[in-house]
Structure 1
Amino acid sequence: MASSASGTLELLADNDILVSEQQIRMEDIAAQYRRGPLTPFAIDRNTFLQLGVGDALPQPVGANTNWERGFVPLHAADPDPVRLYALNGTIGTTPSQPSFTWKLTVPKPVDVYAGEDILYGAVIAQHNNASQVSSVIAGRDIIRPQIAFLGEGALWVEAGRNLTFVAGEGILSRGGIMSTGNVLVANFGEARKGTDIDTPNLALPDKGGDINMIAGTAGGADYAGFADLYLDPRNASDPAFPLSYPANAGKVVRTYEKELGEFLKGLSYEDRPASERRALFAALPSSPSRRSCRKCCSPS
């Protein structure tokens, strides 16, 4: 797909989304480096895009242009993720290629959902600020996933039954600049600019984000019930007595209102009174709310 600051992709199906062995890719090229009929370019042996003819592009493609991406993320002001929804079916490859890998590479968050399975998917997303969340959710199984996201924020991966990897594969979070810093991931068989060396995206901070994985949720998880119990300081037990003590009935060892405050600050909410925090949490979309519950019940 051609590069555009407001461009997006939405595939919505009642049943299956089946892709042949190929890549769905959204280009990440800043406006000043895009080619068109008024901006000359040349193709060398159909393998290497040589931008500019003569002096048409004074700056060569390289670190000084962030490899055409510029130094502000193209989708920095774009609130919409790329969406692939198979409401009652599976996202995978065509029946003639059942075990091949389909690929989705986009310079913005993704929201991938299948009511049944997600099979053999290689998904690369990009978070352009620290509050962004990508999600890959299947009502049944996620089989052989390869999922990566660049930048900060978080990735939520959820399978109603099983989350199954094969040896040597898994889930990766990489910052924009590393020793082999890149916007594409080498073990997905990707290479940029016709070389074997991946290039850093200098528009992103050298930071990674959070990864949350959960399986076996087909019966549902009571996130709201957890929040009501563990995010309300009134439910903290008296530490002088055991939980079995009558005055501690229905109480918990500790509550997590402090962690909730830090989590909300990470979503760009400034300091809010404790009385407002739970209401803010309840109003969040489902993925951030789930992530907060997971973070709250993790060890400090």
Structure 2
Amino acid sequence: MEGDIYRMAFGMTTWDGLTPQYISSGSATIRAGRDIINFGTVPAIGCGLTGPVDCRGSTQIFGGAFRTAGLVVHNDPRDITLISAGRDIIYGNMTVAGPGNLIVEAGRNVYQGDSGRFTSLGPLFNLTPETRNGGAGISVLTGVGAGGPNYDAFASLYLNPANRADPAFPLVHPNNEGKVVHTYDAELTTWLSDRYGYKAESPQAALAYFDALSPIERGIFVRLAYYDELKAGGREYNEPESPRFSSYLRGRNAISVLFPEKNANGEAISYTGDLTMFGGSGVRTLFGGNVELMVAGGQTLIGVGSVVPPSTAGVLSLGSGDIDIFSLNSVLLGQSRVFTTFGGDLFIWSVRGDINAGRGSKSTAVYQPPRRVYDVYGNVTLSPPTQNTGAGIATLNPIPEIPPGDIDLIAPLGVIDAGEAGIRVSGNVNLAALQVLNAANIQVQGEARGIPLPPVVNTAALTTASSATSAVVAEVAKMAERVRPKPADIPVIVSVRLLGFGTQP
């Protein structure tokens, strides 16, 4: 496949007063052999406020103010929208309403600049206000090369229970060659039941059903298992009772399987490409749905220090979804943010770079308006917004009803820097890196591992030193007193005055 896609608008969102109207078809598959440029971006000409409006899409809107293009509406949790480019995706804008998955994949770079956004609106109907879930997940993959991640190799190794290692031997022992610590056959059975309604009678039956799915569908579960494996490997690093304590072996093995250095013919595979966002760019799920950023060939830039982003920018899970980030090089936030705000967990693994929380303002309000929810009977409820502030890295629970979220940050060859923006954790935190900087700017409500303790002043030693100094001073004073010369005896001088010799003749 060759060729580019330029300035394509798919689906539209309009407003009649304050009520949004969604005009779109179902899920879509959009592929380009080379680049996708300005996808879903509103053209500068032909989008007036009234009258017929043609925004170069497949639909014309008559009347009303046009606002955004790039919309798909999913009606089934199994719906998948795929946007795939063999090389680069530049300024992509896509909004997905309903459940399912939005997958954005580029062989090289995804460059969003200051205006590219991927957003999941959540369910249009039957939304549960208390849990704020059910929305589509968003996966952004960059630098994965022409063939993409090796999902088949990962599934063959990690989904077959026969490949489980013998815990009596170390993972590097010859008896465990080609084995893994944990296989995800039980998780696969549950996933197939939840997503497809398939009740597997055995792990082999589940694996056979899984193999019959399309590569895009298989990739959804493989990425879930991949991030779980990386997280488990990062936690083992700080677990003294683990046989892989202070070792990244488990995580590195998973990386080498999903992103091998050579293909089946022994030829080197090149992974090159960055994810670049700053200004108003971001990835957001508003009512559930996980966010996955997989940058296999470069750097993950979520913000820059010289541009103050709006409160809607960054990587945000405003529902109950998790955020998982894998990056070959550094993950840099600048003045932006990576937040979960309704109980989701947050995970970042940088293979050979740093994780920097940036220098964003702690007073910025991350605002989300309340949303009216209608059930099938016409009953109206209000899904309450959560008030969140700041920048940096955080799992927030601003009200007691929200469950805590954990944070795992892993940088085996780099530095974790809380920066000025800080790291806030409503649950437990696990950090593993060569060095952790600005640890005083890390706030944890649960258990903390990997955070260096602040230096403690030994007051007893200071007291002892002070006493010794006082004793020395006193002794010196005594010695000075002993060697001081004594004053010589001063003779008494008596003055005698002769007044006369009397009256004798």
Seq. identity, %:
32
Give the TM-score of the pair, scaled to structure 2.
0.35
Match of 1:110 in 2: 28
Contact 2:7 2:39 in 1 (8 A): no
- Picking from 196, 200, 203, the partner of 1:272 is 200
- Picking from 154, 160, 163, the partner of 1:232 is 160
**Measured at CA, do residues 263 and 136 of structure 1 come closer, stay the same or move farther in structure 2, by a change above 3 Å?**
same
Match of 1:161 in 2: 108
The gaps in structure 1 that reach 5 residues or longer are 1-12, 28-46, 49-61, 70-104, 177-200
Match of 1:127 in 2: 74
1:249 aligns with 2:177: yes
Could you tell me how far apart the structure 2 residues matched to 1:16 and 1:218 are?
17
Match of 1:261 in 2: 189
Could you tell me how far apart the structure 1 residues matched to 2:125 and 2:218 are?
30
Q: Which has the larger radius of gyration?
A: 2
Contact 1:120 1:145 in 2 (8 A): yes
CA displacement at 1:222 relative to structure 2 = 1.8
SS at match of 1:113: strand
The gaps in structure 2 that reach 5 residues or longer are 41-69, 232-505
- Picking from 196, 203, 207, the partner of 2:134 is 207
Could you tell me how far apart the structure 2 residues matched to 1:253 and 1:142 are?
37
CA displacement at 1:16 relative to structure 2 = 4.4
Could you tell me how far apart the structure 2 residues matched to 1:259 and 1:211 are?
21
Q: Determine which structure has the larger strand proportion and give its number.
A: 2
What pairs up with 1:77-88 in 2 under 5 angstroms?
none
Deviations 1:214-248 (A, max 9, x none): 11122423211111101001101112321111211
**Measured at CA, do residues 286 and 231 of structure 1 come closer, stay the same or move farther in structure 2, by a change above 3 Å?**
same
**Higher RCO structure, 1 or 2 (CA under 8 Å, sep 6+):** 1
Could you tell me how far apart the structure 2 residues matched to 1:114 and 1:235 are?
38
**Measured at CA, do residues 15 and 141 of structure 1 come closer, stay the same or move farther in structure 2, by a change above 3 Å?**
closer
Could you tell me how far apart the structure 2 residues matched to 1:265 and 1:204 are?
22
Runs of 4+ aligned structure 1 residues displaced above 6 Å come to 203-206
One-letter amino acid of the structure 2 residue matched with residue 171 of structure 1: F
RMSD over equivalenced CA pairs, Å: 3.2
CA displacement at 1:167 relative to structure 2 = 2.9
SS at match of 1:155: strand
Contact 1:174 1:207 in 2 (8 A): no
What pairs up with 1:1-300 in 2 under 5 angstroms?
15-19=3-7, 23-25=9-11, 106-122=24-40, 123-167=70-114, 169-176=116-123, 201-202=124-125, 207-220=134-147, 221-273=149-201, 274-299=203-228
Contact 2:32 2:85 in 1 (8 A): yes
Match of 2:406 in 1: none
Contact 2:10 2:71 in 1 (8 A): no
Could you tell me how far apart the structure 1 residues matched to 2:98 and 2:159 are?
29
**Measured at CA, do residues 219 and 137 of structure 1 come closer, stay the same or move farther in structure 2, by a change above 3 Å?**
closer
Could you tell me how far apart the structure 1 residues matched to 2:102 and 2:165 are?
33
Could you tell me how far apart the structure 2 residues matched to 1:19 and 1:165 are?
14
